[in-house]
Structure 1
Amino acid sequence: MSRDVAPIARLKYLLRRLTSFDPRRVWGFASQIAKEQGKWAPRVFVDMLVWAALHDTAYIDYYEADFALLSKSERKTFMTSLIQHHLAQAVNDRTDVLQFENKITFNRRFAEYLGRDWLDLDEVDAEGLRAFAEKNPVFIAKTPVGREGKGVFRYEASEVTDWNAFRDELRDKGQRLIEQRIEQHPYLSEYCEGTVNTTRVATFFDGTKVHVLMAAQKFGRGAVSDQFTWGGFFTMIDENGKSFGPGHTGKHKSRYETHPDSGKSIVDFEVPMWDRVVDLVTRAAQEVPTVPYIGWDVAVGPEGPMLIEGNWTPGLYETRVSATGIRTGSRARHRPVIEASRR
């Protein structure tokens, strides 16, 4: 049994699981795993229940990390969503995390790290919006609170004929945050020009040192966002900013040795200006010491990296053995935050 989650947190998790248990959903996962990996569905079904009850592994985690292909010792090297959620709840201040949940609040707090213009639609009239769009003919509108790329939209100023009506439309849709469109590094544009391909970096600030716990490179398919909900995929990144191997979606059986649209190599990918990316998140991680465990989304532009947002629950990114052949997860690198959660 994992010792990385406090007993009371595990008990609450088990109670939630019992009250929401849907055997048809679990059987659906087991059947899909059996079909994709040549396993016997009933055995997978029972194994999923055991690892959910005793090893802090949600059914979706079991599927996405290919646990059916891993030994018990190999599985224990992987992070799970329950462990990550427990860590975030244990070390991050419940009030101060609000600075990260709202994108407008985040932009104000981390203004020096953004590298782009933006405005709050509630603070400008239609003429102010039009003036912003004249400088930024293609711009991004976001709802202040949203996850997984939902609530992110791209507009072209040339298509707007009535700025008063357009401003009212954006406000009615809740798209209050207006941002300059990011120009990404030419190397990243070679992979997918139509989407800003961002790097997720999880950090933990122990009060003295910032630890880089995990990094993943996300790739888009031409949509406004590189998230899975928009067709994106990712590859894990090592401590030198280089790809671990082929990319995958984590949501179904997939393997990308090259980008499916551009043909650029995923296995040979290196994050441009990696040292500057690490420096950026290291500085940003110390801004709010009461929220030490953060997953940063970083875009790298021609002149350097810039923050997109910070997620106080960093998001679960792990390799898949079926896609990469790698049988070791990132839990060991999370030791600093795991130890801090026990204090």
Structure 2
Amino acid sequence: MAVSVHKWLLNKFRDINHSRMDKHIDIIAKNSGKSKAYIKFDIIRNFLIRGTGYTDYFRCDFINLSAKEKKTFVTAKTFYKILEYLNDEEYIVLLRDKLVFDELFKKYLKRDFINLRTGSKEDFKKFLDGRETVFAKDPTGEGGHGISKITVAEVKDSNKLYDELKANGQLLVEEAIVQSDDLNEINPCVVNSWRVVTLYKDGKAHIINNALRINQDESNVIGCTNDLYLSLDADGRIDSNVIDDYGNVYDKHPMTGKKFSEVKIAGVREALDMVVEAAEKIPQVRYIGWDIAFSKNGPVMVEGNEYPGYGLLQFYKLKGKRTGHLKEIADVLGDEMNNIKL
């Protein structure tokens, strides 16, 4: 990986959002009865000892955990070392470059795309014909950055747009995903994404956790607001609490009023089979976070992440668990965990 663990931790400390941290501290103080001064001290202490950021501290309920329980949770420090061991740097390009990814996993995309590295202006014009909406992406962009929604009817000059996209590095243009009715009933304003994590061991990919992220409001960008989070069972039912960034629990969607007890999403079992099959195509990248959307055509693959976020996977308010994601990894790896120097 590109940066050292020490530089990673320094960057985490430098990039602290103090207003957000203070809000988390307020909630912890209210729920625990501990003073804010003590909580701040304990956050710093756990950061220095374990590499635990303030969001990890809050999400994992560290204020109430024993030292033994804390050891079962992934932190920025330990996660870096785990992925450095599990994921072969030479093969990460298969996920990191979306143009390479789309070619390799075309079977699971269930939508058309064009590569502007090789496609001509005439190819691009033909690609746009007959489509309402497409998305242009930076093939190496992360976190939703470098993505533009293009309404085809508004394109006056496809040649000019082609040049602009290439100049911006937006070399991947994909057909839009049309979200399924099951998800539209919850929030129709954005394609909501389901993260499924696989871990490869001894010729088999294991599913070790999942989390669905849903926008609360009318934003058409996922992940940029105080979203809602939940997990799904194989039958498409919600098997956790539905919570926001601050641990508030919801029984219905605040915008649409859809009751979460009534939610059943078709295609979840198919999606789980899909990510297992995909993960076994690249055993050199053993830990992958797959982003799945549920479309009118069933589950579709959005992307795979060799360094996915882990925070939602061990948010204690989801299921009230007092063990974390590190235990889920260790349960699959077994004695091999001894090879990773945490």
Does TM, scored on the shorter chain, surpass 0.5?
Answer: yes
Residue 98 (structure 2) aligned to one of 103, 109, 116: 103
- SS of the residue 2:206 aligns to: strand
**Amino acid corresponding to residue 46 of structure 2 in structure 1:** W
Match of 1:314 in 2: 308
C-alpha contact (below 8 Å) 1:257/1:265 kept by paired residues: yes
Aligned to 2:129, the other structure's residue is in SS state helix
Offset, 1:91: 1.0
Instruction: Give the letter aligned to residue 248 of structure 1.
Output: I
Query: Percent identity, aligned pairs only?
Result: 27
Other-structure match for 2:24: 33
The alignment of Structure 1 onto Structure 2 pairs a total of residues equal to 330
CA distance in 2, matches of 1:79, 1:267: 30
State the Cα deviation string for residues 35-75 of structure 1 (Å, max 9, x = none): 22324122112211222233342233213434235454554
Q: Distance in 2 between matches of 1:191 and 1:302?
A: 15
CA distance in structure 1 between the aligned counterparts of 2:212 and 2:244, rounded to whole angstroms: 11
CA contact (8 A) 2:59 2:316 kept: no
Judge which range, 264-273 or 101-110, deviates more: 264-273
Unaligned runs of 5+ in 1: 1-11
Could you tell me how far 1:87 is from its partner in structure 2? 1.5
SS of match in other structure, 1:195 = coil
CA RMSD of superposed structures (Å): 3.0
CA–CA distance in 1 between the matches of 2:11 and 2:253? 42
Q: Which digits, 9 at most, give the CA deviation of each residue in 1:220-241, with x for residues without a partner?
A: 34444322x2553321335655
Letter of the 1:167 counterpart: Y
8 Å CA contact 2:9–2:76 kept in 1: the answer is no
Question: What is the deviation of 1:288?
Answer: 0.7
Q: Return the letter of the residue paired with 1:226.
A: I
Please state if 1:297 is matched with 2:297: no
**Which AA in structure 1 matches 2:204?**
K
Partner amino acid, structure 1, of 2:273: D
Partner of 2:268: 274
For residue 19 of structure 1, report the CA deviation from its aligned partner. 9.3
CA distance 1:285–1:49, shift in 2 (3 Å): same
Find out whether 1:44 has 2:39 as its counterpart.
yes
Tell me the TM-score normalised to structure 1 length.
0.84
Asked whether the equivalents of residues 135 and 149 of structure 2 are also in contact (C-alpha less than 8 Å), the reply is yes
Summarize the Cα distance change of 1:332–1:240 in structure 2 as closer, same or farther, 3 Å threshold: farther
- Whether 2:50 is the aligned partner of 1:55: answer yes
Cα 1:337–1:151 shift into 2, 3 Å:
farther
Deviations for 1:86-105, whole angstroms, at most 9, x for unmatched residues?
21111110110111111111
Q: How does 1:1-343 map to 2 (within 5 A)?
A: 13=5, 17=9, 25=16, 31-37=22-28, 38=30, 39-220=34-215, 221-227=217-223, 229-230=224-225, 232-238=227-233, 241-250=236-245, 252=246, 254-266=248-260, 268-316=262-310, 317-321=312-316, 327-335=322-330, 336-337=332-333, 339-343=335-339
Q: Which letter maps to 2:117?
A: D
**Do 1:26 and 1:45's aligned partners in 2 also have CA atoms closer than 8 Å?**
no
Q: Normalising by structure 2, what TM-score?
A: 0.84
Deviations 1:232-282 (A, max 9, x none): 3321335655324333343x4544332222122345544422211110001
Residues 338, 201 of structure 1: alpha-carbon distance in 2 compared, 3 angstrom cutoff: farther
CA contact (8 A) 1:78 1:318 kept: no
Q: Aligned partners of 1:52, 1:72: CA distance in 2, in Å?
A: 14
Range 327-336 or range 173-182, more displaced: 327-336
